């Protein structure tokens, strides 16, 4: 599959997608996305499905109404390959299709996991669509599955930072700096019960992320030059809850849709949003 390039109508925004992965978002020639090969993370975006968070504490077992499934951290979706189903100048749609109980090879085995094979007891179709406008990049996730299927969903994009730890993430109720996020370690920093978060920078474009369906975020980085701002349906590290508690799972309606809108902006929008 060749790399897909989207261009907005005014030509000031360009998005590059490699096999379904958002690898570049240029706004007025400023790169907003963490680049592969730079310190911090080997990817630039991915999805977490049908589970979020580690599974080692339950011996990689996830309980479902159809029996136990073997899942590694953040689920098996990332082990599947996207196929391009539609594209034009400013839109592209990709999908992954899974047949129930199909064995999927775990790329983390044996160095980072003891489980060589993963599986899930439900069919699903997972579609990821991009739509680039002059103002923003809208990413929509559509999940078709059997009604009653339990699942968690997280979107995991990584954004480029200056490296000097001056950036701030802000919601309507919280404000957190890069050092505090780094101190949080692998469990990630929760920003819960909100559909919007803003990344504020000293220079260049700030970034607003507005969501539908997720209602929570978690923030993760181990380095000062990038930050993962992750819309999630549930925070998997809740104190007092057992690992992979049933309370963390959504229940499929047959077709479910989720949305994340990434909008670069200058300082003036902060006053509008938070007055």
pLDDT value at residue 226: 98
Whether the per-residue pLDDT at 274 is higher than 60: the answer is no
246: helix, strand or coil? helix
Q: How far is Cα 163 from Cα 161, in angstroms, rounded to an integer? A: 6
Q: How far is Cα 134 from Cα 114, in angstroms, rounded to an integer? A: 46
What is the arithmetic mean of pLDDT over 22-31? 98
What is the percent of the chain where pLDDT is above 70? 97
Q: What are the structural domains of the chain?
A: 4-52+76-93+127-140+151-274 (2.70.98.10)
pLDDT value at residue 268: 55
**Rounded-to-10 torsion of CA 169, 171, 175, 181:** -50
What is the arithmetic mean of pLDDT over 195-214? 97
What is the arithmetic mean of pLDDT over 267-274? 52
pLDDT value at residue 270: 53
Of 159 and 241, more confident: 159
Q: How far is Cα 70 from Cα 181, in angstroms, rounded to an integer? A: 30
What is the arithmetic mean of pLDDT over 27-36? 97
- At 185, the pLDDT band (50, 70, 90 cuts) reads confident
Q: How far is Cα 48 from Cα 73, in angstroms, rounded to an integer? A: 9
Q: How far is Cα 77 from Cα 144, in angstroms, rounded to an integer? A: 14
- Confirm if 88 and 130 have CB atoms less than 8 A apart: no
* Alpha carbon 80 to its chain's center: 16
- At 239, the pLDDT band (50, 70, 90 cuts) reads confident
What is the percent of the chain where pLDDT is above 90? 90
- At 195, the pLDDT band (50, 70, 90 cuts) reads very high
pLDDT value at residue 269: 52
Whether the per-residue pLDDT at 234 is higher than 80: the answer is yes
Whether the per-residue pLDDT at 267 is higher than 80: the answer is no
Is residue 211 reached through a cis peptide bond, with omega within 30 degrees of 0 on the bond before it?
no
Q: How far is Cα 73 from Cα 55, in angstroms, rounded to an integer? A: 5
What is the arithmetic mean of pLDDT over 144-151? 98
């Amino acid at each position: 599959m060749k790399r897909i390039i989207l261009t907005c109508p005014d030509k000031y925004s360009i998005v590059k997608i490699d096999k379904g992965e958002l690898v570049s978002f240029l706004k007025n020639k400023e790169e907003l996305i963490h680049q592969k090969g730079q310190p911090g993370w080997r990817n630039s975006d991915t999805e977490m499905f049908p589970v979020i968070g580690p599974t080692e504490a339950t011996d990689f077992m996830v309980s479902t109404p159809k029996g136990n499934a073997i899942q590694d951290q953040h689920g098996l979706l990332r082990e599947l390959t996207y196929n391009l189903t539609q594209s034009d100048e400013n839109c592209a749609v990709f999908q992954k299709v899974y047949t129930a109980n199909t064995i999927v090879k775990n790329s983390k085995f044996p160095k980072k996991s003891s489980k060589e094979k993963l599986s899930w007891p439900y069919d699903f179709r997972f579609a990821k669509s991009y739509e680039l406008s002059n103002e923003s990049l809208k990413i929509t996730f559509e999940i078709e599955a059997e009604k009653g299927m339990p699942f968690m969903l997280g979107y995991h994009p990584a954004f480029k930072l200056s490296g000097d730890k001056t950036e701030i993430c802000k919601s309507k109720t919280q404000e957190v700096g890069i050092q505090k996020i780094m101190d949080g370690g692998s469990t990630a920093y929760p920003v819960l019960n909100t559909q919007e978060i803003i990344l504020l920078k000293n220079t260049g474009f700030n970034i607003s992320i507005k969501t539908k369906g997720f209602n929570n975020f978690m923030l993760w980085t181990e380095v000062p030059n990038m930050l993962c701002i992750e819309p999630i349906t549930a925070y998997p590290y809740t104190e007092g809850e057992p690992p992979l508690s049933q309370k963390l799972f959504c229940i499929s309606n047959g077709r479910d849709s989720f949305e994340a809108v990434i909008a670069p902006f200058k300082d003036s929008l902060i006053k509008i949003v938070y007055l």
